[in-house]
Amino acid sequence: MERYTQTETYWQKFTLTEEDIDRIYNVLMEALAPVDTERLAWVVVEGRIKDEEKRLHEILSRGKVYHPREVYNIGDTLVFPALDYAVGTVVGKRAGYNPAYPEFQVIQVQLEGEKTPREFASGLEAPHRLNDNGDSSPLSGHVSAEEIFDQYGHYVKKTLEQELARRSDDFVRIANGWFLRDSLAEINIGHLNIADAVMDIRREPVSLDDILAELDLPEEIPPEIQRLSLEHALANSENFVSVDVNGERRWYLRRLLPRALAEEPRLLRYDPIPYRRDALPLSLLQIEWELDDEWSDTMDEEGVGTSLIPSATLILIYPHWRYGTVPITSRVRGIMPSFDTDVALITLVDGRWGERFTGWVSPRHRLIAGLDDWYQKHKIPVGAYIIVERKVEEPNTYVIDFRPRRMKREWVRTARLEGERLTFEMNKQEVACETDEHVLLSVADPEAIDAYVESLPDPLPPIQETVGSIFPELSKLNPEGKVHAKTLYSAVNVIRRCPPGPIFAVLAESDEYQDVGDGYWTAWNRELE
Protein backbone atom coordinates (compact mmCIF):
# COMPACT_ATOMS: atom_id res chain seq x y z
CA MET A 1 0.00 0.00 0.00
CA GLU A 2 1.19 3.53 -0.79
CA ARG A 3 1.72 5.62 2.31
CA TYR A 4 0.32 9.10 2.68
CA THR A 5 3.78 10.68 2.86
CA GLN A 6 4.65 9.17 -0.51
CA THR A 7 1.85 11.00 -2.34
CA GLU A 8 1.99 14.49 -3.82
CA THR A 9 -1.51 15.26 -2.54
CA TYR A 10 -0.32 14.87 1.05
CA TRP A 11 2.43 17.48 0.61
CA GLN A 12 0.31 19.83 -1.50
CA LYS A 13 -2.04 20.12 1.49
CA PHE A 14 0.83 20.38 3.97
CA THR A 15 0.26 22.55 7.06
CA LEU A 16 2.46 22.90 10.11
CA THR A 17 1.49 20.98 13.24
CA GLU A 18 2.66 21.57 16.80
CA GLU A 19 4.87 18.50 16.41
CA ASP A 20 6.56 20.17 13.42
CA ILE A 21 7.07 23.37 15.42
CA ASP A 22 8.63 21.35 18.26
CA ARG A 23 11.08 19.79 15.81
CA ILE A 24 12.03 23.21 14.46
CA TYR A 25 12.48 24.55 18.00
CA ASN A 26 14.77 21.67 18.90
CA VAL A 27 16.93 22.18 15.81
CA LEU A 28 17.30 25.90 16.45
CA MET A 29 18.03 25.39 20.13
CA GLU A 30 20.81 22.94 19.34
CA ALA A 31 22.28 24.90 16.45
CA LEU A 32 22.68 28.24 18.29
CA ALA A 33 22.91 29.75 14.81
CA PRO A 34 20.45 30.66 12.05
CA VAL A 35 19.22 27.62 10.12
CA ASP A 36 18.02 28.01 6.54
CA THR A 37 14.56 27.02 5.32
CA GLU A 38 15.96 24.10 3.33
CA ARG A 39 17.37 22.45 6.45
CA LEU A 40 14.22 23.06 8.51
CA ALA A 41 12.02 21.69 5.74
CA TRP A 42 14.13 18.53 5.63
CA VAL A 43 13.75 18.10 9.40
CA VAL A 44 9.97 18.39 9.06
CA VAL A 45 9.74 15.97 6.12
CA GLU A 46 12.02 13.43 7.78
CA GLY A 47 10.03 13.72 11.01
CA ARG A 48 6.70 13.20 9.26
CA ILE A 49 8.01 10.09 7.50
CA LYS A 50 9.38 8.65 10.74
CA ASP A 51 6.11 9.38 12.51
CA GLU A 52 4.18 7.54 9.83
CA GLU A 53 6.62 4.63 10.01
CA LYS A 54 6.23 4.43 13.80
CA ARG A 55 2.44 4.66 13.58
CA LEU A 56 2.29 1.86 11.03
CA HIS A 57 4.56 -0.37 13.11
CA GLU A 58 2.36 0.19 16.16
CA ILE A 59 -0.82 -0.56 14.23
CA LEU A 60 0.56 -3.62 12.48
CA SER A 61 1.78 -5.00 15.79
CA ARG A 62 -1.82 -5.18 17.00
CA GLY A 63 -3.04 -7.76 14.52
CA LYS A 64 -2.82 -9.51 11.18
CA VAL A 65 -2.87 -7.61 7.88
CA TYR A 66 -6.12 -8.43 6.12
CA HIS A 67 -5.95 -10.36 2.82
CA PRO A 68 -9.13 -11.88 1.28
CA ARG A 69 -7.51 -15.29 0.69
CA GLU A 70 -6.58 -15.80 4.34
CA VAL A 71 -8.91 -17.63 6.71
CA TYR A 72 -9.82 -15.78 9.93
CA ASN A 73 -11.60 -16.81 13.12
CA ILE A 74 -13.83 -15.02 15.57
CA GLY A 75 -11.70 -13.02 17.98
CA ASP A 76 -8.89 -12.34 15.48
CA THR A 77 -7.66 -8.72 15.32
CA LEU A 78 -7.16 -7.47 11.76
CA VAL A 79 -5.49 -4.41 10.22
CA PHE A 80 -6.89 -2.95 6.97
CA PRO A 81 -4.24 -0.90 5.06
CA ALA A 82 -6.82 -0.02 2.38
CA LEU A 83 -8.98 1.66 5.08
CA ASP A 84 -6.27 3.96 6.41
CA TYR A 85 -4.94 1.10 8.56
CA ALA A 86 -8.17 0.73 10.47
CA VAL A 87 -8.11 -1.94 13.20
CA GLY A 88 -11.02 -4.32 13.87
CA THR A 89 -12.02 -7.56 15.58
CA VAL A 90 -13.74 -10.50 13.88
CA VAL A 91 -17.12 -10.85 15.63
CA GLY A 92 -18.96 -13.18 13.25
CA LYS A 93 -18.57 -15.61 10.39
CA ARG A 94 -20.82 -17.18 7.74
CA ALA A 95 -20.62 -19.00 4.41
CA GLY A 96 -20.32 -16.81 1.35
CA TYR A 97 -21.86 -17.49 -2.04
CA ASN A 98 -21.00 -16.18 -5.50
CA PRO A 99 -21.32 -18.49 -8.53
CA ALA A 100 -18.31 -16.77 -10.10
CA TYR A 101 -16.03 -17.74 -7.23
CA PRO A 102 -15.12 -20.98 -5.49
CA GLU A 103 -16.27 -21.60 -1.93
CA PHE A 104 -15.35 -18.81 0.55
CA GLN A 105 -16.52 -17.27 3.82
CA VAL A 106 -17.75 -13.87 4.94
CA ILE A 107 -16.49 -12.46 8.23
CA GLN A 108 -18.11 -9.69 10.24
CA VAL A 109 -15.53 -7.23 11.60
CA GLN A 110 -16.20 -4.54 14.19
CA LEU A 111 -13.86 -1.69 13.28
CA GLU A 112 -12.72 0.63 16.06
CA GLY A 113 -14.75 3.81 16.12
CA GLU A 114 -17.66 2.41 14.12
CA LYS A 115 -21.06 1.34 15.49
CA THR A 116 -21.94 -1.56 13.20
CA PRO A 117 -19.74 -4.36 11.85
CA ARG A 118 -18.59 -4.52 8.24
CA GLU A 119 -18.35 -7.68 6.16
CA PHE A 120 -15.26 -8.90 4.32
CA ALA A 121 -14.38 -11.99 2.27
CA SER A 122 -12.25 -14.69 3.88
CA GLY A 123 -10.63 -17.73 2.28
CA LEU A 124 -11.27 -16.25 -1.18
CA GLU A 125 -8.91 -18.02 -3.60
CA ALA A 126 -9.67 -15.73 -6.52
CA PRO A 127 -7.87 -12.80 -8.22
CA HIS A 128 -8.22 -9.72 -6.03
CA ARG A 129 -6.12 -6.57 -5.78
CA LEU A 130 -5.67 -7.10 -2.04
CA ASN A 131 -4.46 -10.65 -2.71
CA ASP A 132 -1.98 -9.61 -5.39
CA ASN A 133 0.36 -8.10 -2.81
CA GLY A 134 -0.45 -10.57 -0.13
CA ASP A 135 3.11 -11.75 0.24
CA SER A 136 4.56 -8.28 0.77
CA SER A 137 4.51 -6.27 3.98
CA PRO A 138 2.83 -2.85 3.99
CA LEU A 139 6.17 -1.52 5.26
CA SER A 140 8.14 -2.78 2.26
CA GLY A 141 8.82 -0.97 -0.99
CA HIS A 142 8.74 2.51 0.51
CA VAL A 143 10.38 5.57 -1.08
CA SER A 144 13.31 7.09 0.83
CA ALA A 145 13.00 10.36 2.70
CA GLU A 146 15.60 11.89 0.37
CA GLU A 147 13.53 11.03 -2.71
CA ILE A 148 10.35 12.40 -1.15
CA PHE A 149 12.12 15.64 -0.19
CA ASP A 150 13.53 16.05 -3.69
CA GLN A 151 10.06 15.64 -5.19
CA TYR A 152 7.83 17.46 -2.72
CA GLY A 153 10.11 19.51 -0.49
CA HIS A 154 9.22 22.73 -2.32
CA TYR A 155 5.68 22.55 -0.92
CA VAL A 156 7.04 22.34 2.62
CA LYS A 157 9.57 25.15 2.11
CA LYS A 158 6.90 27.51 0.81
CA THR A 159 4.62 26.83 3.77
CA LEU A 160 7.50 27.12 6.24
CA GLU A 161 8.52 30.54 4.89
CA GLN A 162 4.99 31.85 5.30
CA GLU A 163 4.26 30.24 8.66
CA LEU A 164 7.55 31.14 10.38
CA ALA A 165 7.23 34.74 9.16
CA ARG A 166 3.70 34.80 10.61
CA ARG A 167 5.00 33.50 13.95
CA SER A 168 7.32 36.48 14.34
CA ASP A 169 6.93 36.42 18.12
CA ASP A 170 8.78 33.11 18.16
CA PHE A 171 10.98 33.09 15.06
CA VAL A 172 13.13 35.75 13.42
CA ARG A 173 14.97 35.79 10.12
CA ILE A 174 18.66 36.58 10.30
CA ALA A 175 20.61 36.76 7.04
CA ASN A 176 19.35 33.70 5.12
CA GLY A 177 18.26 31.65 8.11
CA TRP A 178 15.82 31.39 11.01
CA PHE A 179 16.51 31.79 14.72
CA LEU A 180 14.56 31.82 17.99
CA ARG A 181 13.59 35.30 19.15
CA ASP A 182 13.85 34.29 22.82
CA SER A 183 17.49 33.34 22.31
CA LEU A 184 18.48 36.85 21.22
CA ALA A 185 20.04 39.42 23.53
CA GLU A 186 18.37 42.80 23.89
CA ILE A 187 19.72 45.45 21.51
CA ASN A 188 18.10 48.78 22.34
CA ILE A 189 18.00 52.19 20.67
CA GLY A 190 21.07 53.25 22.61
CA HIS A 191 23.08 50.39 21.13
CA LEU A 192 21.91 51.32 17.64
CA ASN A 193 22.92 54.95 18.20
CA ILE A 194 26.42 53.77 19.10
CA ALA A 195 26.51 51.65 15.92
CA ASP A 196 25.43 54.73 13.95
CA ALA A 197 28.25 56.76 15.46
CA VAL A 198 30.88 54.10 14.70
CA MET A 199 29.89 54.04 11.01
CA ASP A 200 29.59 57.82 10.81
CA ILE A 201 33.09 58.31 12.16
CA ARG A 202 34.74 55.63 10.02
CA ARG A 203 32.81 56.46 6.83
CA GLU A 204 33.10 52.88 5.64
CA PRO A 205 31.21 49.60 6.14
CA VAL A 206 32.14 48.00 9.45
CA SER A 207 31.96 44.47 10.84
CA LEU A 208 29.75 43.31 13.67
CA ASP A 209 32.83 42.80 15.83
CA ASP A 210 33.86 46.42 15.30
CA ILE A 211 30.49 47.56 16.61
CA LEU A 212 30.31 45.05 19.47
CA ALA A 213 33.66 46.30 20.74
CA GLU A 214 31.90 49.59 21.52
CA LEU A 215 28.61 48.22 22.93
CA ASP A 216 29.84 46.62 26.17
CA LEU A 217 27.14 43.92 26.27
CA PRO A 218 27.03 41.60 29.34
CA GLU A 219 29.89 39.09 29.29
CA GLU A 220 27.58 36.18 30.14
CA ILE A 221 25.99 36.47 26.69
CA PRO A 222 27.91 34.15 24.33
CA PRO A 223 29.81 36.06 21.61
CA GLU A 224 27.90 34.33 18.81
CA ILE A 225 24.55 35.29 20.35
CA GLN A 226 25.79 38.87 20.64
CA ARG A 227 26.63 38.91 16.96
CA LEU A 228 23.30 37.38 15.92
CA SER A 229 21.36 39.79 18.13
CA LEU A 230 23.15 42.82 16.73
CA GLU A 231 22.76 41.60 13.16
CA HIS A 232 19.03 41.11 13.64
CA ALA A 233 18.64 44.59 15.13
CA LEU A 234 20.60 46.24 12.31
CA ALA A 235 18.68 44.34 9.65
CA ASN A 236 15.35 45.50 11.09
CA SER A 237 16.31 49.17 11.22
CA GLU A 238 15.79 51.36 8.16
CA ASN A 239 18.96 53.27 9.02
CA PHE A 240 21.37 50.45 8.20
CA VAL A 241 22.19 48.28 5.20
CA SER A 242 24.19 45.07 4.90
CA VAL A 243 27.21 45.35 2.62
CA ASP A 244 29.27 42.63 0.95
CA VAL A 245 32.96 43.60 1.10
CA ASN A 246 35.03 40.96 -0.69
CA GLY A 247 32.72 38.22 0.54
CA GLU A 248 32.49 39.50 4.13
CA ARG A 249 29.16 40.79 5.42
CA ARG A 250 29.48 44.26 6.93
CA TRP A 251 27.14 47.11 7.87
CA TYR A 252 26.81 50.75 6.84
CA LEU A 253 24.54 53.76 7.21
CA ARG A 254 21.92 54.14 4.50
CA ARG A 255 22.28 57.92 4.52
CA LEU A 256 25.98 57.62 3.63
CA LEU A 257 25.32 55.58 0.48
CA PRO A 258 25.50 57.25 -2.95
CA ARG A 259 22.38 59.37 -3.50
CA ALA A 260 20.84 56.82 -5.89
CA LEU A 261 20.63 54.35 -2.99
CA ALA A 262 20.30 56.70 -0.03
CA GLU A 263 17.39 58.65 -1.52
CA GLU A 264 15.93 55.93 -3.78
CA PRO A 265 14.78 58.61 -6.25
CA ARG A 266 11.47 58.14 -7.96
CA LEU A 267 13.01 58.37 -11.42
CA LEU A 268 14.97 55.17 -10.77
CA ARG A 269 11.99 53.25 -9.37
CA TYR A 270 9.91 51.18 -11.77
CA ASP A 271 6.41 50.28 -10.67
CA PRO A 272 5.46 47.33 -12.90
CA ILE A 273 2.91 48.11 -15.60
CA PRO A 274 0.77 45.24 -16.94
CA TYR A 275 0.64 44.95 -20.72
CA ARG A 276 0.05 42.39 -23.45
CA ARG A 277 3.47 41.20 -24.45
CA ASP A 278 2.00 39.04 -27.23
CA ALA A 279 0.78 42.25 -28.90
CA LEU A 280 4.36 43.36 -29.67
CA PRO A 281 5.44 42.72 -33.28
CA LEU A 282 8.80 41.10 -33.94
CA SER A 283 10.33 44.46 -34.92
CA LEU A 284 9.62 45.93 -31.49
CA LEU A 285 10.78 42.79 -29.69
CA GLN A 286 14.08 43.08 -31.56
CA ILE A 287 14.45 46.72 -30.46
CA GLU A 288 13.61 45.74 -26.88
CA TRP A 289 16.39 43.15 -27.00
CA GLU A 290 18.85 45.77 -28.29
CA LEU A 291 17.97 48.18 -25.48
CA ASP A 292 18.37 45.43 -22.85
CA ASP A 293 16.59 47.36 -20.11
CA GLU A 294 17.17 45.92 -16.63
CA TRP A 295 13.42 45.89 -15.92
CA SER A 296 12.39 44.20 -19.16
CA ASP A 297 10.58 40.89 -18.99
CA THR A 298 13.48 39.37 -20.91
CA MET A 299 15.79 39.49 -17.88
CA ASP A 300 17.26 36.00 -17.41
CA GLU A 301 17.72 35.13 -13.74
CA GLU A 302 19.55 31.92 -14.64
CA GLY A 303 22.24 33.83 -16.48
CA VAL A 304 23.78 35.28 -13.33
CA GLY A 305 27.56 35.04 -13.45
CA THR A 306 27.54 32.53 -16.30
CA SER A 307 28.66 34.55 -19.32
CA LEU A 308 31.80 33.24 -21.00
CA ILE A 309 32.46 36.73 -22.39
CA PRO A 310 33.85 38.96 -19.59
CA SER A 311 32.37 42.20 -20.93
CA ALA A 312 28.95 43.69 -21.63
CA THR A 313 27.79 46.79 -23.48
CA LEU A 314 24.75 48.84 -22.53
CA ILE A 315 23.03 52.03 -23.67
CA LEU A 316 22.88 54.80 -21.07
CA ILE A 317 19.43 56.31 -20.47
CA TYR A 318 18.59 59.52 -18.60
CA PRO A 319 17.66 58.15 -15.12
CA HIS A 320 21.03 56.41 -14.82
CA TRP A 321 22.92 59.39 -16.25
CA ARG A 322 21.17 61.71 -13.81
CA TYR A 323 21.94 59.66 -10.70
CA GLY A 324 25.37 58.32 -11.64
CA THR A 325 24.39 54.69 -11.99
CA VAL A 326 24.89 51.79 -14.38
CA PRO A 327 21.98 49.39 -14.87
CA ILE A 328 22.55 45.71 -14.19
CA THR A 329 21.03 44.52 -17.44
CA SER A 330 20.81 40.87 -18.44
CA ARG A 331 24.21 41.16 -20.14
CA VAL A 332 25.87 42.95 -17.23
CA ARG A 333 24.33 40.46 -14.80
CA GLY A 334 25.96 37.66 -16.78
CA ILE A 335 29.46 38.87 -15.81
CA MET A 336 28.73 39.54 -12.13
CA PRO A 337 28.41 37.21 -9.14
CA SER A 338 25.24 37.13 -7.05
CA PHE A 339 25.11 38.84 -3.67
CA ASP A 340 22.84 38.14 -0.68
CA THR A 341 23.35 41.54 1.01
CA ASP A 342 21.54 44.84 0.46
CA VAL A 343 24.61 46.31 -1.19
CA ALA A 344 27.99 45.02 -2.39
CA LEU A 345 31.21 46.93 -2.93
CA ILE A 346 33.17 46.45 -6.13
CA THR A 347 36.17 48.25 -7.56
CA LEU A 348 35.65 50.17 -10.80
CA VAL A 349 38.59 51.05 -13.02
CA ASP A 350 38.36 54.00 -15.40
CA GLY A 351 39.02 52.48 -18.82
CA ARG A 352 40.48 55.77 -20.10
CA TRP A 353 42.72 56.94 -17.26
CA GLY A 354 43.10 53.84 -15.10
CA GLU A 355 41.86 55.51 -11.94
CA ARG A 356 40.10 53.28 -9.40
CA PHE A 357 36.96 54.12 -7.46
CA THR A 358 34.19 52.33 -5.57
CA GLY A 359 31.05 50.97 -7.15
CA TRP A 360 28.01 50.19 -4.99
CA VAL A 361 26.03 47.24 -6.33
CA SER A 362 22.35 47.05 -5.38
CA PRO A 363 20.82 43.73 -6.50
CA ARG A 364 17.32 44.86 -5.49
CA HIS A 365 17.50 48.07 -7.52
CA ARG A 366 19.40 46.33 -10.35
CA LEU A 367 22.08 48.99 -10.59
CA ILE A 368 25.63 50.01 -9.70
CA ALA A 369 25.92 53.45 -8.09
CA GLY A 370 28.88 55.76 -7.69
CA LEU A 371 29.55 56.94 -11.28
CA ASP A 372 28.45 60.59 -10.96
CA ASP A 373 31.98 62.00 -11.19
CA TRP A 374 32.96 59.57 -13.95
CA TYR A 375 30.08 60.68 -16.19
CA GLN A 376 30.90 64.34 -15.59
CA LYS A 377 34.65 63.92 -16.03
CA HIS A 378 34.30 62.29 -19.45
CA LYS A 379 31.22 64.32 -20.50
CA ILE A 380 29.22 61.13 -21.13
CA PRO A 381 25.84 61.93 -22.74
CA VAL A 382 22.55 60.07 -22.49
CA GLY A 383 22.59 57.47 -25.28
CA ALA A 384 26.28 56.63 -24.92
CA TYR A 385 27.49 53.06 -25.24
CA ILE A 386 28.95 52.04 -21.86
CA ILE A 387 31.21 49.01 -21.54
CA VAL A 388 31.54 47.00 -18.32
CA GLU A 389 34.35 44.45 -18.32
CA ARG A 390 35.26 42.00 -15.58
CA LYS A 391 38.96 41.86 -14.75
CA VAL A 392 39.40 38.11 -14.64
CA GLU A 393 42.62 38.30 -12.63
CA GLU A 394 41.16 40.61 -9.94
CA PRO A 395 38.05 39.55 -7.98
CA ASN A 396 35.24 42.12 -7.74
CA THR A 397 37.02 44.48 -10.11
CA TYR A 398 35.45 45.86 -13.30
CA VAL A 399 36.65 48.22 -15.99
CA ILE A 400 34.10 50.90 -16.86
CA ASP A 401 34.61 52.46 -20.29
CA PHE A 402 32.99 54.06 -23.34
CA ARG A 403 33.75 54.13 -27.06
CA PRO A 404 35.73 57.32 -27.69
CA ARG A 405 35.75 59.19 -30.98
CA ARG A 406 36.88 62.60 -32.22
CA MET A 407 34.95 65.43 -30.58
CA LYS A 408 32.38 67.06 -32.85
CA ARG A 409 29.25 69.12 -32.51
CA GLU A 410 26.03 67.30 -33.30
CA TRP A 411 22.37 68.09 -33.38
CA VAL A 412 20.91 66.59 -30.21
CA ARG A 413 17.33 66.38 -28.98
CA THR A 414 17.04 68.60 -25.89
CA ALA A 415 14.25 68.03 -23.37
CA ARG A 416 12.77 70.95 -21.50
CA LEU A 417 9.76 71.53 -19.27
CA GLU A 418 7.17 74.07 -20.26
CA GLY A 419 4.79 74.18 -17.35
CA GLU A 420 3.88 70.51 -16.88
CA ARG A 421 4.57 69.55 -20.50
CA LEU A 422 7.81 67.94 -21.66
CA THR A 423 8.91 69.48 -24.97
CA PHE A 424 11.87 68.90 -27.26
CA GLU A 425 14.05 70.99 -29.52
CA MET A 426 17.23 70.38 -31.53
CA ASN A 427 20.44 71.99 -30.27
CA LYS A 428 24.10 71.66 -31.11
CA GLN A 429 26.14 69.79 -28.52
CA GLU A 430 29.69 68.45 -28.35
CA VAL A 431 29.83 64.65 -28.39
CA ALA A 432 33.09 62.73 -27.98
CA CYS A 433 31.90 59.14 -27.78
CA GLU A 434 29.85 56.69 -29.79
CA THR A 435 26.13 56.80 -29.07
CA ASP A 436 22.87 55.28 -30.20
CA GLU A 437 21.54 58.23 -32.20
CA HIS A 438 17.95 57.34 -31.37
CA VAL A 439 18.52 57.31 -27.61
CA LEU A 440 20.86 60.34 -27.58
CA LEU A 441 19.38 63.38 -25.84
CA SER A 442 20.17 66.12 -23.34
CA VAL A 443 18.12 67.85 -20.65
CA ALA A 444 18.12 71.63 -20.38
CA ASP A 445 17.31 71.84 -16.65
CA PRO A 446 17.76 68.56 -14.72
CA GLU A 447 16.79 70.19 -11.41
CA ALA A 448 13.43 71.26 -12.86
CA ILE A 449 12.87 67.70 -14.11
CA ASP A 450 13.71 66.35 -10.64
CA ALA A 451 11.13 68.59 -9.01
CA TYR A 452 8.51 67.74 -11.62
CA VAL A 453 9.03 63.98 -11.26
CA GLU A 454 8.75 64.18 -7.46
CA SER A 455 5.52 66.16 -7.80
CA LEU A 456 3.75 63.58 -9.95
CA PRO A 457 0.81 61.75 -8.35
CA ASP A 458 1.12 58.29 -6.93
CA PRO A 459 0.20 56.09 -8.67
CA LEU A 460 1.46 57.63 -11.88
CA PRO A 461 -0.94 58.32 -14.75
CA PRO A 462 -1.48 55.47 -17.22
CA ILE A 463 1.49 54.97 -19.53
CA GLN A 464 -0.84 55.71 -22.46
CA GLU A 465 -1.16 59.28 -21.21
CA THR A 466 2.60 59.73 -20.92
CA VAL A 467 3.19 58.37 -24.42
CA GLY A 468 0.29 60.43 -25.76
CA SER A 469 1.81 63.67 -24.45
CA ILE A 470 5.42 62.98 -25.50
CA PHE A 471 4.91 61.43 -28.96
CA PRO A 472 3.54 64.63 -30.60
CA GLU A 473 6.43 66.67 -29.18
CA LEU A 474 8.98 64.28 -30.67
CA SER A 475 7.18 64.08 -33.99
CA LYS A 476 7.61 67.85 -34.43
CA LEU A 477 11.36 67.31 -34.76
CA ASN A 478 10.95 65.22 -37.93
CA PRO A 479 9.59 66.69 -41.20
CA GLU A 480 7.63 63.46 -41.79
CA GLY A 481 6.37 63.29 -38.21
CA LYS A 482 8.19 60.03 -37.58
CA VAL A 483 9.38 58.93 -34.14
CA HIS A 484 11.70 55.99 -33.58
CA ALA A 485 10.64 53.53 -30.89
CA LYS A 486 14.01 53.92 -29.16
CA THR A 487 13.61 57.70 -29.11
CA LEU A 488 10.19 57.41 -27.53
CA TYR A 489 11.58 55.04 -24.88
CA SER A 490 14.48 57.41 -24.13
CA ALA A 491 12.16 60.44 -23.89
CA VAL A 492 9.57 58.76 -21.66
CA ASN A 493 12.36 57.84 -19.25
CA VAL A 494 13.19 61.50 -18.74
CA ILE A 495 10.11 61.83 -16.53
CA ARG A 496 9.20 58.26 -15.51
CA ARG A 497 11.11 54.98 -15.26
CA CYS A 498 9.68 52.45 -17.66
CA PRO A 499 11.18 49.57 -19.68
CA PRO A 500 10.40 49.33 -23.41
CA GLY A 501 7.63 46.69 -23.17
CA PRO A 502 4.75 48.82 -21.81
CA ILE A 503 5.74 51.78 -24.01
CA PHE A 504 5.91 49.65 -27.15
CA ALA A 505 2.59 48.01 -26.26
CA VAL A 506 0.95 51.45 -26.46
CA LEU A 507 2.24 51.81 -30.02
CA ALA A 508 1.24 48.29 -31.03
CA GLU A 509 -2.23 48.19 -29.46
CA SER A 510 -3.50 51.71 -30.06
CA ASP A 511 -5.07 52.76 -33.35
CA GLU A 512 -3.50 56.19 -32.78
CA TYR A 513 -0.10 55.07 -34.07
CA GLN A 514 1.15 53.50 -37.30
CA ASP A 515 4.27 51.43 -37.95
CA VAL A 516 6.11 52.92 -40.96
CA GLY A 517 9.10 50.55 -40.86
CA ASP A 518 12.70 50.53 -39.59
CA GLY A 519 11.53 51.14 -36.03
CA TYR A 520 9.71 54.38 -36.88
CA TRP A 521 6.12 55.18 -36.00
CA THR A 522 3.78 58.05 -36.87
CA ALA A 523 0.51 59.29 -35.46
CA TRP A 524 -2.54 58.72 -37.66
CA ASN A 525 -3.59 61.86 -39.53
CA ARG A 526 -7.35 61.77 -39.02
CA GLU A 527 -7.88 64.72 -41.36
CA LEU A 528 -6.74 62.62 -44.34
CA GLU A 529 -9.16 59.75 -43.66
Give the side-chain half-sphere CA count within 13 A for 506. 22
Same domain, 446 and 344: yes
Same domain, 404 and 521: yes
Q: Is 438 within a domain?
A: yes
Pairing status of strand 311-315 against strand 86-96:
unpaired
Pairing status of strand 343-350 against strand 397-402:
parallel
Same domain, 126 and 32: no
Burial of 239 (0-12, 13-18, 19+ CB in 10 A): middle
Give the per-residue pLDDT at 135.
Answer: 46
Give the per-residue pLDDT at 246.
Answer: 92
Three-state secondary-structure class, residue 397:
strand
Same domain, 474 and 422: yes
Q: Is 270 within a domain?
A: no
Give the per-residue pLDDT at 526.
Answer: 43
- Between 134 and 275, the higher pLDDT residue: 275
- Report the predicted TM-score, pTM, of the whole model to 2 decimal places: 0.78
Same domain, 223 and 324: no
Long-range own/partner contacts, residues 60-67 (CB < 8 A, 24 or more apart): 60/85, 60/137, 60/138, 60/139, 62/87, 63/87, 65/137, 65/138, 66/120, 66/130, 67/130, 67/131, 67/134
State yes or no: pLDDT of 130 exceeds 60: yes
Lowest mean pLDDT across 74-88, 334-348, 417-431, 499-513:
74-88
If you average pLDDT over residues 493-511, what whole number do you get? Answer: 97
Same domain, 76 and 47: no
Q: Mean pLDDT across the chain, nearest whole number?
A: 90
Same domain, 349 and 387: yes
Could you tell me the pLDDT band of residue 443, with boundaries at 50, 70 and 90?
very high
Q: Is 149 within a domain?
A: yes
Q: Is 518 within a domain?
A: yes
Of 224, 256, 288, the one marking the end of a domain is 256
Could you tell me the pLDDT band of residue 309, with boundaries at 50, 70 and 90?
confident
Residue at 390: amino acid letter: R
Q: What is the extent of the structural domain holding 241?
A: 184-256
Q: Please give the share of the chain, as a percent, with pLDDT higher than 90.
A: 73
Same domain, 444 and 523: yes
